[in-house]
Structure 1
Amino acid sequence: MDFFERQRQVKRMSFRLIVLYALAVVAIVIVVNLAVAWALGAFEAPAGELAWLMVWTSLLTAGSILLASLFRTIGLRAGGGKVARDLGGVLVPEDTSDLRLRRLRNVVEEVALASGVPVPEVYVLEDEQGINAFAAGWSPADAAIAVTRGALDRLNRDELQGVIAHEFSHVLNGDMRINIRLIGLLFGILFLAVMGRTFLYAGAFGGGRDRRDQGSNPLPLIGIALVVAGSVGVFAGRLIQASVSRQREYLADASAVQFTRQTSGLAGALKKIGGLETGSRLRTPKLDEVGHLMFGEARAHSLFATHPPLVKRIQALEPGFDPAELDALAQRWRAAPPSGMAEDAAMGLAPGAGAPRSAVTGPALGPATGSSGEWPGGAGAVAGPAAGAAADAGGTQPVARGPLPGVDTRHPVRPDAVVATVGAPGQPAYHRAGSLLNHLPPELLARARRGDTAPGLLFALLLSEHADVRQAQLAALGERHGAGAVTGALDEAGRLAGLHPLLRLPLAQLCFPALRTHPIARRQDVIATIDVLARADGRISVFEYALSRLLHRELYEATYDTPPWPVRSRSLPQARNAIAALLAVLARAGHPDEASAERAYRAGLSVILPGQDLPMTAPQHGVLALDGAWPMLDGLDPRDKARLIEAVVAVIADDGTMTVAEQELTRTVCGMLHCPLPPLTA
């Protein structure tokens, strides 16, 4: 199942979730009606009075559930970080010196860059000793990844990588939005049980009333009725969680294996869950709301488990796995629980291993395919995980790395092959992400991760190479923020001088966690400044425009939980003018003469709108004309988006090859369409 089919499936799942929620509300309303009528003796009353009682009871019950769900959903608008903090999560600082936390941040950054999505916030659930993790958020732009302290302590780097890759599958597949919406819906369903317990307490102990009056006090009876209805809500909630979550966990496991190209890490994490006494259990009282988010089953026992049986998940990864092995592991670990960092050290991936940083290579990580023990490309190949592991160790020797390709180097490309990688990163993408991280200067990495320097770094990334355009941008920046901001942007631009085009987008992605730590007012200011810099002069390159609009969109979504434009479904005929405008802008930007531009435009048009004769006209406002096209293009059906991306690649790579700059332009265009594209070259 490819990315675009999964997007269609998520839409169907959203409809299914609404139907299940509606059925649960109806069932609860019926139970509450029966319980209230029984408690008040209304079955003996005239039919008219009974009908009015049931009407008002139904309205109050359904209204309470809907308002509670709405209240909880609005409270979650702050994004995935809100969910993590509600569960006791602690944000991992960007400048942490803790080796475990540094290792976690490095793994998350590598997987994010390989996936083509912004780096999410990273949290640790410090009070949870079970091995578990989750991804939460409304979109990749406001996502958060959280792991338990148990996962941090017990898992080695391979295993942690497998768990994080599993969670990123939920980010890419759109599962997060369903999951966070389900939290709000479940809160409404469970709300009545909480109210019922409150009424029971108030009826039994409230007000200091005379015991002789308790027989006429209806609160205990109403409380019992609500508790009964709430138990129906709990039952319905767990049933909904199980129906929504189980199959997606198998898919996420398979995606993680496709991503990392090794089963040992993910299977090892599952074995540790099965072999350790704490398993994947959580102690939070909010289990009924968040059980479906987790990597592993969060309850000790459950009639309606949110996850497939642990043994079946392991056997899907290792078909010959014997369940008796878990008993042997449990016996061994009962005396000496595993330490992830110690296992890393034994493999040469952490301090104390006796291996210099430059000696860390792919094979030290364990089998890349589950059996071969070698990374593709040989022992000396630069692998993303290996590079990250070396960085975790805090050594001083540089990791061996090959040169980045020349800016004008052309690589053969097939449009359908590019489309196939959207939302489906594999091991090559992970290696490329590690390589890109290794090529970023340490000073720039540190500044991208800091909240005080990340905004200035983004502004500097948007400064044009043309002197007159840059002057207009600096003047606009000075008007908004003063001379200090201008000086700061120029200082950052000096640090960026000579930065390879392949590194610009990854560097921008690394800025996002730092930007999301700012108050909303500051983020709004950054969004507005990015917009001003993009519009400072119409003479702006397509790549500069695309990067500025992508940064604007992602930061806007992280702040407001919605794209900067209305989201409406569009058909290809409705979007034909927007499609023509995008293809025309790309054709004119990438081809030196009118004839070659016309040929490239026609090549793309034949892919997305075959048989239609739309002339290639120059947009009135140049590249800025695309501001009106994105709302139309982003509203296309997932399958139509796939064809559009194929058409975009056909235009940019009319000769069957793409330069590095053209590849990054393709990635930014895909990002605007909410279709994350992994790095194509490293």
Structure 2
Amino acid sequence: MNFFERQLEVRRASARLVWLFTLAVVVIVALVDFAVWAGFRLWERQAGSAVWILVVAGVLTVLVIGLTSWIRTLLLRRGGGGKVATSLGGVPVSPDTPDPNLRRLRNVVEEIAIASGMPVPQLYVLPNEPGINAFAAGWTPGDAAIAVTQGALDRLSRDELQGVIAHEFSHVVNGDMRLNIRLMGVLTGILGLALLGRILLPRGGGRRQAGSLGPLVLPALVAVIAGYVGVVIGRLIKAGVSRQREFLADASAVQFTRQTEGLAGALKKIAGLPTGSRLHTAKAEDVSHMLFGESRKFSSLFATHPPLVRRIQLLDPAFDPRELDQLSSRWAAAPPSGMDEDRALGLTTAAAPAPGPVRAPADAVVASIGNPAAGSFGHAGGLLRCIPEDVQARARRADSVVPVILGLLLSGHPQIRTGQHQLLTARLGRPLADAAWREGDALRGLDPAVRLPLTELAFPALRQRPQQELQAVAAVLHELVRIDGKVDVFEYCLSALLVRDLSEAAHHRPPWPVRRTSLRQAAPSVAALFAVVAAVGHRDPAAAAAAFRAGLARVLPGAPIPFQPPGQAWQALDAAWPVLDGLPGPDKALLVDGLTTVITNDGVLGVAESELLRTVCAMVHCPLPPLATVGLGQPLPPRGQQHPQQSSGVFGVR
């Protein structure tokens, strides 16, 4: 199942959730009406009066459920994944933590995020949970958070931790997180009646108080009974929605990591250790459907996860369940230590070699969307190692991340750079402008291929800055890169991605209204995009025209659209995003296929082309892993000299 098929499956699951919620509400309303009919002996009243009472009871029930669900969903959406993590006792992972377990976790998460083409999520650890578990929460990838238990950090090896994190990333990539948040909101609404009933029931105070509240006792009891029937229905809904998605997430994790031993090993440790995957927090029930493993024992009817043995056997067909008894006995005498296992394998110091240049066929690029290829993790690790450690440290800290981002966009031309500094001073203040100037000097020699990964690395720290400051930074980005009337590919990619990611982190939607459309309706936008990309990647106009026609033939065969690169590329692209983002999944796959055909028509994938391809995919919400390019490892030329793989008169490279 590829990315677009998984997206379709998530939409189907969302539709099932709506129907199940509607069915649950109907059942609860019927139960309430029956209790009201029996409790108030409505058969003794006139028909019109009885019907009116039942209608009022039903409407009040729907209002309680609907309002509770809406308010809960709204609060979860506004708080992002971090709010869910902190509500369970999660503690943010400091970017400069000395704890080797936490550094290993951070490295694994960053590698998987960059390898999968997603923003790096916020990281949390549940320090008081000895069980092995994890979850991903958030409304969009821009506000996502991943939390792991202390037990997972202590007991899992690096490969096993990578398998668990890859499992959670599949929920981020495939859109399961939003479904999980909706499910939390829906179930809160169903439980709302039970909470209301418990509030209305008299508590203590003797007969006098109970007597004074007598008229409320019957409605309260009805609400409690209906609410706890809702609990049963809610658990059935969670089980029905969640189980199959866990199988898909396991399969996606294997596709992500290209190995089954890590994920299977983590599941074996859950099955063989006495703490298992249990959570002690009282709110475990709220998030049981989004966890890596079951938070507590449930009957098979209410279980939100498939049986552990079944999950292990799908990953390791030769697994014999009797092995768990041997593992349990061994671990009872000496509990496993993930760090010790890594040291025994030499993984604490091992480093994969940086990848070399490769070609990127169109079908391989489309297949890798939401599904990193075999070398993606090694490639991501190589990219991270190309970034100096002091630069990584500043990008991870909230107090220094903004100058790092702005420093990437400062020109090497003295006059232009002075104008940029004056603009930053006027808009953001002299101290920040000076810090950005210093970062510009420090980042001048950075490898061109790691600039966008550096911004992904910086995103968690960027989200910690005050919202007002982020709005000011987003507002100044366009002016900063257009100050001389010219914009190069990297400047456009960085500014466009930052504006989009900041909008989704703050408002949970892109900075444009998405318009549902088709490829035929979007033909002008498709042609403008292909013309820009063809001009970026081909110096020879004839070669650019040939690449344009080759890509267009894949997407819009027979369309009589001439090759006409727009005069202002960034304006054409800005106008195209709302249209292209509104394409259905299969059309987006075809768009990426055609775009890759344009780029690889000359058999070369340059740094600028790779940055632009990843930006286009990100803007239309198709996460693309980083691609090895011919520019990897080449030093960044001074601004004012053209990089050999970044030639474009369309963008006006300086």
Q: Is the TM-score greater than 0.5? A: yes
The sequence identity of aligned pairs, in percent, is 56
Q: Does the Cα contact within 8 Å between 1:464 and 1:544 map onto a contact in 2? A: no
CA distance in 1, matches of 2:269, 2:107: 22
Q: 1:560 aligns with which of 507, 510, 524?
A: 507
- Partner letter of residue 532 of structure 1? E
CA distance in 2, matches of 1:24, 1:466: 65
Aligned to 1:343: 341
Deviates more, 1:80-89 or 1:615-624: 615-624
- Partner letter of residue 24 of structure 2? A
Question: 1:70: Cα distance to partner?
Answer: 0.9
Secondary structure at 1:556 match in 2:
helix
Aligned to 2:635: none
Q: 1:487 aligns with which of 431, 434, 441?
A: 434
Q: Does the Cα contact within 8 Å between 1:133 and 1:147 map onto a contact in 2? A: yes
Question: 1:469: Cα distance to partner?
Answer: 4.8
CA distance in 1, matches of 2:372, 2:394: 27
| Number of residues of Structure 1 aligned to a counterpart in Structure 2 | 627
- Partner letter of residue 32 of structure 1? V
Question: 1:99: Cα distance to partner?
Answer: 1.2
Deviates more, 1:145-154 or 1:659-668: 659-668
Which residues in structure 2 correspond to 1:517-528 (within 5 Å)? 517-528=464-475
Deviates more, 1:283-292 or 1:485-494: 283-292
CA distance in 2, matches of 1:466, 1:670: 31
Question: 1:284: Cα distance to partner?
Answer: 2.5
Which residues in structure 2 correspond to 1:255-404 (within 5 Å)? 255-302=252-299, 303-350=301-348, 357=349, 360=350, 382-383=351-352, 401-402=353-354
CA distance in 1, matches of 2:596, 2:101: 41
- Once the two structures are superposed, residues 391-420 of structure 1 have per-residue CA deviations (whole angstroms, 9 ceiling, x without a partner) of xxxxxxxxxx55x76xxx7x4331111111
Distance 1:255 1:212, change over 3 A: closer
Question: 1:547: Cα distance to partner?
Answer: 2.1
CA distance in 1, matches of 2:193, 2:326: 44
Q: Does the Cα contact within 8 Å between 2:533 and 2:612 map onto a contact in 1? A: no
CA distance in 1, matches of 2:286, 2:74: 15
CA RMSD of aligned residues (A): 1.9
CA distance in 1, matches of 2:421, 2:366: 38
Secondary structure at 1:205 match in 2:
coil
Distance 1:474 1:62, change over 3 A: same
CA distance in 1, matches of 2:369, 2:172: 13
Q: 1:544 aligns with which of 462, 485, 491?
A: 491
Aligned to 1:34: 34
CA distance in 1, matches of 2:420, 2:552: 35
Distance 1:414 1:680, change over 3 A: same
Aligned to 1:205: 204
CA distance in 1, matches of 2:34, 2:120: 51
CA distance in 1, matches of 2:624, 2:233: 38
Distance 1:281 1:521, change over 3 A: same
Q: Does the Cα contact within 8 Å between 2:133 and 2:277 map onto a contact in 1? A: yes
CA distance in 2, matches of 1:427, 1:468: 45
Q: 2:602 aligns with which of 655, 666, 675?
A: 655
Question: 1:472: Cα distance to partner?
Answer: 4.1
CA distance in 2, matches of 1:44, 1:149: 61
Aligned to 1:130: 131
- Once the two structures are superposed, residues 364-409 of structure 1 have per-residue CA deviations (whole angstroms, 9 ceiling, x without a partner) of xxxxxxxxxxxxxxxxxx53xxxxxxxxxxxxxxxxx55x76xxx7
- Structure 2 alignment gaps of length 5 or more: 633-654
CA distance in 2, matches of 1:623, 1:609: 23
Aligned to 2:175: 174
Secondary structure at 2:437 match in 1:
helix
Secondary structure at 2:128 match in 1:
coil
Q: Does the Cα contact within 8 Å between 1:132 and 1:151 map onto a contact in 2? A: yes
CA distance in 1, matches of 2:21, 2:420: 51
Aligned to 2:409: 462
Secondary structure at 1:122 match in 2:
strand
CA distance in 2, matches of 1:601, 1:465: 32
- Residue 230 (structure 1) aligned with residue 190 (structure 2): no
- Once the two structures are superposed, residues 214-246 of structure 1 have per-residue CA deviations (whole angstroms, 9 ceiling, x without a partner) of 6x7032322221121112211221111111111
Aligned to 2:86: 85
Q: Does the Cα contact within 8 Å between 2:115 and 2:376 map onto a contact in 1? A: yes
CA distance in 2, matches of 1:588, 1:465: 24
Secondary structure at 1:106 match in 2:
helix
Secondary structure at 2:309 match in 1:
helix
Distance 1:452 1:25, change over 3 A: same
CA distance in 1, matches of 2:82, 2:523: 39
- Once the two structures are superposed, residues 465-498 of structure 1 have per-residue CA deviations (whole angstroms, 9 ceiling, x without a partner) of 5555544433322220233233211211111112
- Partner letter of residue 64 of structure 1? V
Aligned to 1:62: 62
Secondary structure at 1:210 match in 2:
helix
Question: 1:436: Cα distance to partner?
Answer: 1.1
Distance 1:21 1:211, change over 3 A: closer
Q: Does the Cα contact within 8 Å between 1:542 and 1:623 map onto a contact in 2? A: no
Aligned to 2:250: 253
- Partner letter of residue 65 of structure 2? I
Q: 1:511 aligns with which of 452, 458, 462?
A: 458
Q: Does the Cα contact within 8 Å between 1:65 and 1:191 map onto a contact in 2? A: yes
Q: Does the Cα contact within 8 Å between 1:546 and 1:668 map onto a contact in 2? A: yes
Which residues in structure 2 correspond to 1:525-604 (within 5 Å)? 525-604=472-551
CA distance in 1, matches of 2:569, 2:33: 63
Q: Does the Cα contact within 8 Å between 1:464 and 1:540 map onto a contact in 2? A: no
CA distance in 1, matches of 2:425, 2:539: 35
Deviates more, 1:320-329 or 1:32-41: 32-41
CA distance in 2, matches of 1:570, 1:601: 22
Q: Does the Cα contact within 8 Å between 1:531 and 1:552 map onto a contact in 2? A: no
Secondary structure at 2:125 match in 1:
strand
- Partner letter of residue 292 of structure 1? H
- Once the two structures are superposed, residues 427-480 of structure 1 have per-residue CA deviations (whole angstroms, 9 ceiling, x without a partner) of 310011111111210111101101011111111122345555544433322220
- Partner letter of residue 70 of structure 1? W
Aligned to 1:674: 621
CA distance in 2, matches of 1:468, 1:13: 56
- Once the two structures are superposed, residues 551-603 of structure 1 have per-residue CA deviations (whole angstroms, 9 ceiling, x without a partner) of 21112211111111112321112211111111122222222243222222212
CA distance in 1, matches of 2:50, 2:515: 45
Aligned to 1:189: 190
Aligned to 1:394: none
Secondary structure at 1:532 match in 2:
helix
CA distance in 1, matches of 2:340, 2:547: 56
Question: 1:620: Cα distance to partner?
Answer: 5.0
- Partner letter of residue 123 of structure 2? V
CA distance in 2, matches of 1:88, 1:43: 51
Question: 1:143: Cα distance to partner?
Answer: 0.8
- Partner letter of residue 237 of structure 2? I
CA distance in 2, matches of 1:290, 1:51: 39
Aligned to 1:642: 589
Deviates more, 1:36-45 or 1:302-311: 36-45
Aligned to 1:6: 6
Distance 1:238 1:166, change over 3 A: same
- Partner letter of residue 541 of structure 1? D
Q: Does the Cα contact within 8 Å between 2:403 and 2:433 map onto a contact in 1? A: no
- Once the two structures are superposed, residues 620-663 of structure 1 have per-residue CA deviations (whole angstroms, 9 ceiling, x without a partner) of 53322211110100110011111111121122222132123322
Aligned to 1:474: 421
Question: 1:160: Cα distance to partner?
Answer: 0.9
Which residues in structure 2 correspond to 1:103-122 (within 5 Å)? 103-122=104-123
- Once the two structures are superposed, residues 268-299 of structure 1 have per-residue CA deviations (whole angstroms, 9 ceiling, x without a partner) of 11111111112111222223321110000112
Distance 1:535 1:583, change over 3 A: same
Q: Does the Cα contact within 8 Å between 1:234 and 1:288 map onto a contact in 2? A: no
Q: Does the Cα contact within 8 Å between 2:537 and 2:606 map onto a contact in 1? A: no
Distance 1:479 1:266, change over 3 A: same
Q: Does the Cα contact within 8 Å between 1:469 and 1:539 map onto a contact in 2? A: no
- Partner letter of residue 489 of structure 1? A
